[in-house]
Structure 1
Amino acid sequence: MGDDETGHGFDHIQRVVSLADKLVREYPAANRVLTVTAAYLHDVIDEKLVEDTAAASAEVRDFLTQQGFSAADSDTVFLIMDNMSYHKTIDGTAKPLPLEGQIVQDADRLDAIGAIGISRAIYFGGHFGEKIYDPAVKPRTSMTHAEYRNLDNETIINHFYEKLLKLKDLMNTDAAKRVAEHRQQVMLDFLAEYKAEWNAQA
């Protein structure tokens, strides 16, 4: 992910790992090694970042085997990677995540909101040439997977309403919910200020 220019680079990975490692310490029942491993690998087979997901998956499985992971532990890591993405929530295909996966999903979603989330949303949208804002384009309220991936119908500001502001209520763990409360307010304050400046009211 070192060459990523969409907001999913190694800096994002490192933050998700740090958040997951912080969260997992509040849940002794969770396997810390599997949690941190899944956090490191959570984006490396993502359809929006990898052209050949099958080849990427095979490479990851080989890597885990070389590192001494059992087949069962590798299956758990893949279960997490395959079912934690937001688009799986949209189309209802996500399988239930074990506690380790819930923690990694929370960490990933926490990095999508707050001040970091704001900067990543702008960075991602700019990379794909999205319009920043158009008051005439209203946020989409119901989307299929294909519509969610269609950036032609999205603005960067609308992405907050279509996804980012929803993440707080989708957190799995109480520990993540506490962090999300503050980050949610950061985004709400940003949007209020942005629109006030857009309308020359601030």
Structure 2
Amino acid sequence: MPSDDSLFDRVASKMAAHLDGDSSGHDVHHAWRVNRVGTRIAEAEDADPRIVGVAALVHDLHRIRGDGFTHPEETIPEVREILADADVPADLVDPVCHCVAVHEEYDFEDDPLTAETVEAEVLQDADNLDAIGAVGIARAFQFGGAHGNLMWDVDRPLPEEEAYEKDAGIDDDAPGSTFHHVHAKLLRLHENMNTETGREIAAERHAFLEEFAERFAAEWEGEL
């Protein structure tokens, strides 16, 4: 039986052409980080690391499809083609596609799709974990820069319990602010973890994110 590493390498090779050149923080390095932490969580949570690992490598195809937000469900036909080209075993294809379709659904959204397998829950946790902590902060500002967002629009109040929007709070009349995105979404992700292992990892990363947010505001105002 081929090793998981061989399986993952084949999928990553097929995805490289799609993700190469990405400047928004959803590149092949992000895919591999989600793969590594996802398979780690899968092993701890009695999930299938092959399903999680393959799904991690193909989950962000929607991120490079046109302007605005494309729902992951819309990329499933193309995901299936990539899995076929990578000779992914047939019994993994449907479970992988389900993981991809529901990975970007949050409890704080209206009417989110439901993750129906532990593998889908693990992928969601792994993807969210890469959005908090040190790497998550770097990715947020990389994404903001790629989309012409301000670091912080101090004339807009920071969100408290406002509903999360997939466009990161960017409206038609004003540029987005990465620091608003940190408050509107990233500081809430630890509450959205599905697995015990995910919650344990998220707790430490969330603490770092909170410390960053406080220091960023203090340095911005010249208090430090």
Match of 1:76 in 2: 95
Residue-by-residue CA offset, 1:37-88 (whole Å, 9 max, x unaligned): 11111112x2x42138788533321232351532x63222111111111468
CA 1:86 to 1:125, structure 2 compared with 1: closer, same or farther past 3 Å?
farther
SS in 2 for 1:4: coil
- Distance between the aligned counterparts of 1:73 and 1:41, measured in 2? 13
Question: Counterpart of 2:163 in structure 1: which amino acid?
Answer: S
Question: Counterpart of 1:142 in structure 2: which amino acid?
Answer: A
Give yes or no for the alignment of 1:115 onto 2:137. no
Match of 2:13 in 1: none
How high is the sequence identity, in percent, across the aligned residues?
Answer: 26
- Please state how far the C-alpha of 1:164 moved relative to its aligned partner: 0.2
CA 1:9 to 1:150, structure 2 compared with 1: closer, same or farther past 3 Å?
farther
User: Bigger CA drift: 190-199 or 131-140?
Assistant: 131-140
Q: Runs of 5+ in structure 1 lacking a partner?
A: none
Question: Counterpart of 1:2 in structure 2: which amino acid?
Answer: D
When the two structures are superposed, what TM-score results if normalisation uses the length of structure 1? 0.87
Match of 1:65 in 2: 84
Match of 1:142 in 2: 163
Match of 2:8 in 1: none
- Please state how far the C-alpha of 1:144 moved relative to its aligned partner: 5.0
The 8 Å contact of residues 102 and 113 in structure 2, kept in 1 or not, is answered as: yes
Give yes or no for the alignment of 1:13 onto 2:31. yes
The counterpart of 1:40, out of the listed 57, 62, 69, is: 57
- Distance between the aligned counterparts of 1:26 and 1:142, measured in 2? 32
- Please state how far the C-alpha of 1:170 moved relative to its aligned partner: 0.4
- Distance between the aligned counterparts of 2:29 and 2:204, measured in 1? 22
Give yes or no for the alignment of 1:173 onto 2:195. yes
Match of 1:164 in 2: 186
The 8 Å contact of residues 107 and 192 in structure 2, kept in 1 or not, is answered as: no
When the two structures are superposed, what TM-score results if normalisation uses the length of structure 2? 0.79
What is the count of residue pairs matched by the alignment?
Answer: 198
SS in 2 for 1:130: coil
Q: Runs of 5+ in structure 2 lacking a partner?
A: 1-18
- Distance between the aligned counterparts of 1:149 and 1:49, measured in 2? 18
The counterpart of 2:121, out of the listed 81, 84, 102, is: 102
The 8 Å contact of residues 58 and 100 in structure 2, kept in 1 or not, is answered as: yes
Match of 1:188 in 2: 210
Give yes or no for the alignment of 1:92 onto 2:114. no
Give yes or no for the alignment of 1:49 onto 2:64. yes
- Distance between the aligned counterparts of 2:136 and 2:199, measured in 1? 16
Question: Counterpart of 2:89 in structure 1: which amino acid?
Answer: F
Match of 2:177 in 1: 155
